[in-house]
């Protein structure tokens, strides 16, 4: 085996030993509140209706996240949450307020 082949074999072996990176750490978040059909958006991505997020929860990567809840006829609800590694699950209570007439 030539020196070049040996070096290449070492690089390939080292790369294979590393494997894929571990998945990011996540924190469980659940929401309760009303109205149940309100739309929940996290970091500008729609994640489901409020009743679905209440039942199933959402896995948030560790870090800061912007959570929005909106429904027709109600004022929007916004909050910035911090998902901290080692912390317990997050629980948010949302009660949308009807739009004044």
Locate 54 and state its tokens: 């209440």
Within a domain: 79: yes
CATH code: domain of residue 53: 2.60.40
Question: What is the model's pLDDT at position 20?
Answer: 75
Alpha helices in 26-70 (DSSP H): 50-56
Locate 73 and state its tokens: 């006829």
Alpha helices in 19-97 (DSSP H): 50-56
Within a domain: 9: no
Question: What is the model's pLDDT at position 77?
Answer: 97
**Which residues are bridge partners to 29 per DSSP?**
58, 90
CA distances from 37 to 9, 26, 32, 75 (A): 57, 26, 12, 14
Within a domain: 3: no
Residue 85 CA from chain centroid, whole number: 13
For the chain, 101 residues long, give each residue's pLDDT as a single digit of tens: 555 555 445 444 555 556 677 766 888 999 999 999 999 999 999 999 999 999 999 999 999 999 999 999 999 999 999 999 888 889 999 999 999 87
Q: What is the domain range of residue 39?
A: 22-95
In terms of pTM, does the model score above 0.85? no
């Amino acid at each position: 085996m030539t020196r070049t082949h040996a070096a290449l074999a070492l690089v390939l072996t080292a790369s294979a030993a590393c494997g894929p990176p571990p998945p990011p750490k996540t924190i469980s978040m659940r929401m309760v509140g009303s109205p149940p059909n309100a739309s929940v958006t996290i970091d500008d991505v729609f994640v489901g209706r409020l009743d679905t997020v209440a039942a199933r929860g959402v896995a948030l990567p560790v870090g800061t996240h912007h959570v929005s809840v909106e429904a027709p006829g109600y004022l929007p609800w916004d909050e910035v949450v911090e998902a901290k590694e080692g912390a317990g699950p997050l629980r948010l209570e949302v009660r949308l307020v009807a739009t004044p007439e």
